Structure 1
Amino acid sequence: MVLRLTPFKLASEHVFKELLLTFIICLGSLLTLILIGRMLQLKELFLGQSLGVMEIGRLFFYLSPFFLQLLMPISCMLAIFLTFLRISSDRELIALKAGGVSLYKLLPSPVLFCCLCCVANLAVAFWGISWGMDNFRAEVLEFARNRTQIMIQPGTFNSDFPGLTIFAEQYDPGNKEMRLIFVQDSRGDETSATIVAEKGRVVTDKERGRLQFLLNDGAIYRTAKDQVHTLKFVSYLVNLDIWKTFNAEQLSETRPREMSIMNLRRLAADPDLAKKRDEDYVRKVNVEIQKRYTLPVACLVLGLFALPFACSFQGVKQYVGVLMALGMFIVYYSLYSISISLGESGFLAPWIGLWLPNVIFFVSAIFGIRLTAQEKSIRLGDWLTNLRMPFRKKSS
């Protein structure tokens, strides 16, 4: 028995494969550019710890979900736009219509593709972002802990940490424990503390994202206004400002945009959140919750919007079409950014502002698909060609 695929099935399968390949290329290219830019921002964090290629690659892998939330909608839009621009420019769409395959029959492939992108983006928005940032901080703290143990050499004063001078007379590499420790802490505005301890070691607090110096069996001599206070201790923690050391203060605290959706909802449901933090923080939490839903839906909205938009560029060179598609995404993102600013400032409810760009582009997409199916769409390619004709005549 020989299976024969209809033109509709062949076209749908071909379109879906091309969409997937183009999407992977666009997403990979954009993500690489973003990560390179991020590496330049955190160059002191990476170079200061002398990380290898594998360690940097692992850190970039954990950073990726944070950027995928925004890159997936634009990659989905570009994939559909480039695929249907090629189909339209190569006259394949006309051939399919002649074979009885209308634009409506081609819709299942891009719609299914957009829905899959929505689901993937939802997973990134709900769990991937917090998972990636938590692991990123944990990796950086572990690298910093190992480097700190290397920096604190026996019999050498170390002042790499702002406001701290650390000295250890002995170091046991087996259990990574230091003995006969002296710490000068001058981070206070009007006070300074001298700490001596019998032993100590560097530990990490992954939940709070801190690097700490755990001291045992010692005393604290605190000086304030020509007075000295002495306090003996069995165990004492000295917080090391690792993020400030590497000029990465933005990583010192988990911000709302780095949290999971469960934590965001938990914060939003806390009636005392405004008292614990402030009103601006509450609005940022509410805005971030809406972002976790609107950006995944944007994959479907922008994908459908790109379909008739690509068909309107028949006859235009591909790079011109790409620039126009990026321009339309900039329009969408500008509206989206304005909505975020209005939501965080309290001028507009987040659920209204952040959903408004999606509604506008979705209505435009449905209207454009209907016109394109009826062959009433505006030929932007012909319009641009005619627009350039007077300039060509003047130059000749």
Structure 2
Amino acid sequence: MLIIHRYIFKGLIPPLLINLLFLTTVFLMTEMVKITKLIVNYNVSPATIGFILLFSIPHFLVFVFPMSVMMAVLLTLMRMSGDNEIAALKSGGVSLYKLLPPIGILAVAGCLATLFMTVYGMPQGKMAIKHLTYQMLTSNTDIGLKARTFNDSFKGVTLYVNEVDLHDKKMKDVFIEDRRNPKAISTIVAPEGQLLKDSEGRSVRLRLYHGMINQVERGKRSANAIYFTTYDINLNMTQTVNVKRYLREEEDEMSLAELNAYILKVRERPEKYYDALIELHQKFSIPAACLALGLLAVPLGVELKSTRRSAGLGMGMFIFILYYVLMTAGRVFGEMGWYHPAIGLWAPNILMGMGGIFLLIRTANEKPTYLFEFIRSLGRFMRKMLQHLLHRVTRR
């Protein structure tokens, strides 16, 4: 049996690696819109883009690992079944149950890898992206500065520039409305100016040349005009971003100890309490999906022997989408407080696991599995659940 187990395990590795690479690439491609915006609008360096993509990978791997494990088991058993290797093993007295150890090893390894990502990788990655984004937004003086566009990124200040050279930080035909002092609103016009950054990168000095300041004092109902040769206006870069957003630690960025302490702290605040509980259970329910989906893939792979590999890919995608929809619906119901969050987050694993056990027993005993009837029933259940969810949400 050891030789057979080694053969099966070696057969699992190539589809696992291919799926890991393919799915990670697909998920990273979804970030290209955000990356393109950073490059075009904010002149972000390639190194910063690389770090953002690197820190985003743990978030993707949380879902890539379970799906890759399921697809690896499904495709491997489909190939063995299509080549009549499963039938040959059965005729030699090897039951389907004896083929489970290498599959179990892969599922457990995927579970542990996903658990590492949910507990350590994803929180650290999200915190790193948040700090990197905050540092990027507060250190680049030309953030959001575009020619012939009104820029109101700075609190109380509207800036318009007809021409701008981002390399030399020089501007032409500058118009500024300064409303930081409500009692005296200033309008500044200058034919040229330059951006100067302080050593810490927290503020920007906008130096204007040969311009005019029109100041209106509402209380005194008076207006003054001042001509200048050189005039400096200081702008705080931290006001261009939501500082609290980047300094506040969210539930999905906390360690297990921090999350447990936070749950005890917000126990009397139902909305935050349920959100924190959902995040806690999700750290363990998603890794457990490797076991449930891996088990379900065994009878599916054996039963789909007469179909093309593309059909197997479609079946795998359908099962994972079904799992994701059930998990999302369970999360929504948990956030609404209809039941304990653990029920909604663990229910998909229980359903998939029980379905896998049922189909495995039927397949091992060579009894009809009613596989496609089972899948259609799951589809009807998912449709009814979504309709019920939409009905309850619209009623609120």
> Which residue does the alignment assign to 2:262?
267
Which whole-Å deviations, capped at 9, do the CAs of 1:269-307 have from their partners, x for residues lacking one? 114773xxxx32322111111111100001111110111
Matched, 1:83 2:70: no
Local SS of the residue matching 2:65? helix
SS of residue paired to 1:378: coil
Equivalent pair of 1:145/1:202 in contact (CA under 8 Å): no
Of residues 320, 329, 352, the one that matches 1:361 is: 352
Structure 1's 238 and 45: CA in aligned 2 closer, same or farther, altered over 3 A? closer
User: Which runs of 5 or more structure 2 residues have no equivalent in the other structure?
Assistant: 160-175, 187-195, 206-215, 221-234, 376-396
Q: Counterpart in 2 of 1:295? A: 286
Aligned residue for 1:239, secondary structure, equals helix
- Distance of aligned partners of 1:134 and 1:214 in 2 relative to their CA distance in 1, 3 Å threshold: farther
Change (3 A) 1:99 1:273: same
1:106 CA displacement: 1.1
Partner of 2:163: none
CA offset digits 1:177-196 (Å, max 9, x no partner): xxxxxx976479x68899xx
- Residues 308, 368 of structure 1: 8 Å contact kept: yes
Amino acid at match of 2:203: F
1:65 equivalent in structure 2: 58
Kept in 2: contact 1:267–1:273 (CA 8 A): no
Partner of 2:126: 133
- Give 1:255's match in structure 2, choosing from 240, 247, 250: 250
Give the superposition deviation at 1:60.
Answer: 0.7
Give distance in 1, aligned partners of 2:346 and 2:120: 21
1:378 maps onto 2:369 in alignment = yes
Alpha carbons of 1:95 and 1:192: their partners in 2 closer, same or farther (altered >3 Å)?
A: farther
Structure 1 residue 318: Cα displacement: 1.0
Aligned partner of 1:323 in structure 2 is 314
Count the aligned residue pairs: 324
Question: Structure 1 residues 151, 359: closer, same or farther in 2, change over 3 A?
Answer: closer
Any stretches of 5+ residues in structure 1 without a counterpart?
1-7, 153-157, 167-182, 205-211, 216-222, 228-235, 385-396
Provide the C-alpha distance between the structure 1 equivalents of 2:158 and 2:8, rounded to a whole number of angstroms: 64
CA positional deviation for 1:83: 1.0
Alignment of 1:36-185 (within 5 A): 36-148=29-141, 159=151, 161-163=153-155, 164=157
CA distance in 1, matches of 2:357, 2:111: 18
Following superposition, the deviation at residue 239 of structure 1 comes to: 2.3
Query: Match of 2:17?
Result: 24
Normalising by structure 1, we get a TM-score of: 0.70
Moved more, 13-22 or 77-86: 13-22
Give how far 1:251 is off.
Answer: 6.9
Shift of 1:159: 4.9
State the distance in 2 between where 1:48 and 1:105 align: 58
User: 2: CA distance between counterparts of 1:346 and 1:225?
Assistant: 52
Q: Aligned partners of 1:100, 1:136: CA distance in 2, in Å?
A: 54
Q: Return closer, same or farther for 1:80/1:10 CA change in 2, 3 Å cut-off.
A: same
Superposed displacement of residue 101, structure 1: 2.8
The match for 1:218 is none
Amino acid across the alignment from 2:271? D
Q: What does 1:196-345 correspond to in 2, within 5 Å?
A: 201=198, 203=200, 212-213=202-203, 226=219, 239-242=238-241, 254-271=249-266, 274=269, 279-345=270-336
Q: SS at the partner of 2:141?
A: helix
Aligned partners of 1:145 and 1:203 also within 8 Å:
no
Normalising by structure 2, we get a TM-score of 0.70
- Percent of aligned pairs with the same residue? 27
Of 4, 8, 17, the match for 1:11: 4
- For residues 24-69 of structure 1, the C-alpha deviation after alignment (integer angstroms, 9 at most, x for no partner) is 2112211211221122145322432334544322211101111221
Cα distance in 2 for residues equivalent to 1:191 and 1:29: 60
Q: How has the CA–CA distance of structure 1 residues 380 and 345 changed in structure 2, closer, same or farther, with 3 Å as cutoff?
A: closer
SS at match of 1:316: coil
CA contact 1:23–1:78 (8 Å) conserved in 2: yes
What letter matches 1:301 in structure 2? Answer: A
CA RMSD in angstroms, aligned pairs only: 3.8
User: Separation in 1 of the partners of 2:184 and 2:24?
Assistant: 46
Deviation per CA, 1:337-392: give whole Å up to 9, x if none.
110000011112101111111111111111222222212243869x99xxxxxxxx
